[in-house]
Structure 1
Amino acid sequence: MKKPSSKIREEIVQLQAQLRLAETREAERIGRVALKAGLGEIDIDESQLQAAFEEMAGRLRGTGEKATGRKSAAGGDTSASATKIAAGQAADGTGEV
Structure 2
Amino acid sequence: MKKPSSKIREEIARLQGQLKAAETREAERIGRIALKAGLGEIEIDETELLEVFEEMAERFRGSGSTHRKSTPAPVEPGEAQRPQGEA
TM band (smaller chain): 0.7 to 0.9
Where is the helix percentage greater, Structure 1 or Structure 2?
Answer: 2
TM-score, scaled relative to structure 1: 0.66
Which 5+ residue runs of structure 2 have no aligned equivalent? 64-79
Runs of 4+ in 1 over 2 A off after TM superposition: none
CA contact (8 A) 2:38 2:81 kept: no
- Unaligned stretches of 5+ residues in structure 1: 64-87
Alignment-mate amino acid for residue 62 of structure 2: G
Indicate the residue corresponding to 2:59 in structure 1: 59
Q: Percentage identity across aligned positions?
A: 72
TM-score (norm 2): 0.73
1:23 paired with 2:27, answer no
Secondary structure of the 1:62 match is helix
Task: Tell me the SS of whatever aligns to 2:2.
Answer: coil
Counterpart of 2:58 in 1: which secondary structure? Answer: helix
Conservation of the 8 A alpha-carbon contact between 2:34 and 2:40: yes
**Counterpart of 1:36?**
36
- Deviation, 1:89, is 4.8
CA distance in 2, matches of 1:7, 1:39: 44
Deviation at 1:30, TM superposition (A): 0.4
What secondary structure sits across from 2:44 in the alignment? coil
Say which one has the larger Rg.
2
The letter for the 2-side match of 1:8 is I
